[in-house]
Amino acid sequence: MPNLANYPWAVTLEAVFAAAASPGSGLQSRTPLRKIRRMKNFNRNYHTDYDLTDPELSERWGEVVSDLHARCPVAHSTTGEGYWVVNGYADVARCAKDWRTFSSADGFMVNRPEGMPYFAPAEVDPPLQRGLRAALEPFLRPKTVAALAPTVRAQAHRLIDGFCAAGTVELVSQFANPLPQFVVSSVVAGMNPAEMPYLLEAFSFVGPEAERARNFARGMVRIEAYLKERSTAPARGDIVDALLAFEHPDYHWMDKVGTLCQLTIGGIGTTGYAFSGGVYHLATHPQDRAA
């Protein structure tokens, strides 16, 4: 399984700080303290010493999460700046909706690498977050996106044709990431397909974490150049024009660049990981493949 640290969206609730576990927050364990046993047979006690980057968490995800669900509504980590991890569905939903308490304005990443830019709409709060979403949403609706199916299929075939003769594939870099990236960046946002390998590398979550901020910065430079070009070109009526037209007193030019970066990363990252995780599961569970 890939390292969970590569799933930045998985830590959206990083903003679940001490307030979450304070009396009156409603997030306290319903298990009496005397009944909370140490987690046995694990490298660490994930209740009190959670670490998103511990490879064991990925390798034994199901076991750890089941234990946390049963016995630990809010786990704590002392890694780096320290953070809290909300585990139950209802609690997570409540925190996600209560943006005044659990604001996204400080970003969603735990132990954020130095210099990492902040991107809207994920890293801002309403009303800006809602306004920006409303501007972008018409271009990402299921019905609108369904019309892209033939183009997506054709691109999937092109990618498969590129490696099937070799009989082997590095699935993430040769298929799972380039496919959604092409769809979001090229088909939806109209960027030049020739730019894709560069952006793929710049916005990668697979490379060394220490180089991430620098890589993101060079990806942003390329995205800004594209936005500049589009701002003087004839309108196409697409998501980029909607982004260029969006106005809010707390939202400026570099925020627009950040938003287009976020859309690009959304294409490369989450979808690619969800997809490769699914294929990995099928490859290692023949019984599910047969079903």
Q: Which residues bind ligand HEM (CB under 6 A)?
A: 9, 12, 96, 121-122, 129, 133, 140, 180, 184, 262-263, 266-267, 270-271, 274
Classify each residue of 137-160 as buried b or exposed e, where b means 16 or more C-beta atoms within 10 Å of its C-beta: eebeeeeeeeeeeeebeebeeebe
Nearest C-alpha neighbor of 12 from the set 147, 125, 114? 125
Residue 129 or residue 186: which is nearer to ligand HEM going by CB? 129
84 and 2 in contact (C-beta within 8 Å)? no
What are the residues whose beta carbons fall under 8 Å from the beta carbon of 19, sequence distance 6 or more? 25, 101, 102
Least distance to ligand HEM, CB of residue 183, Å:
8
Residue 44 or residue 187: which is nearer to ligand HEM going by CB? 187
Tokens of 225: 């150049």
d(CA 66, CA 86): 13
Classify each residue of 28-38 as buried b or exposed e, where b means 16 or more C-beta atoms within 10 Å of its C-beta: eeeeeeeeeee
Residue 73 or residue 266: which is nearer to ligand HEM going by CB? 266
Least distance to ligand HEM, CB of residue 122, Å:
4
Least distance to ligand HEM, CB of residue 240, Å:
12
d(CA 71, CA 75): 10
3 and 58 in contact (C-beta within 8 Å)? yes
Residue 61 or residue 164: which is nearer to ligand HEM going by CB? 61
Least distance to ligand HEM, CB of residue 119, Å:
8
Least distance to ligand HEM, CB of residue 168, Å:
25
Least distance to ligand HEM, CB of residue 262, Å:
5
Least distance to ligand HEM, CB of residue 8, Å:
9
Phi/psi for 127 (5° steps) reads -85, -15
Residue 72 or residue 188: which is nearer to ligand HEM going by CB? 188
Residue 39 or residue 110: which is nearer to ligand HEM going by CB? 110
Radius of gyration of the chain (CA): 21
Instruction: Give the CA dihedral 116, 130, 81, 200, nearest 10 degrees.
Output: -30
Residue 113 or residue 278: which is nearer to ligand HEM going by CB? 278
Find the residue with minimal CB distance to ligand HEM.
266
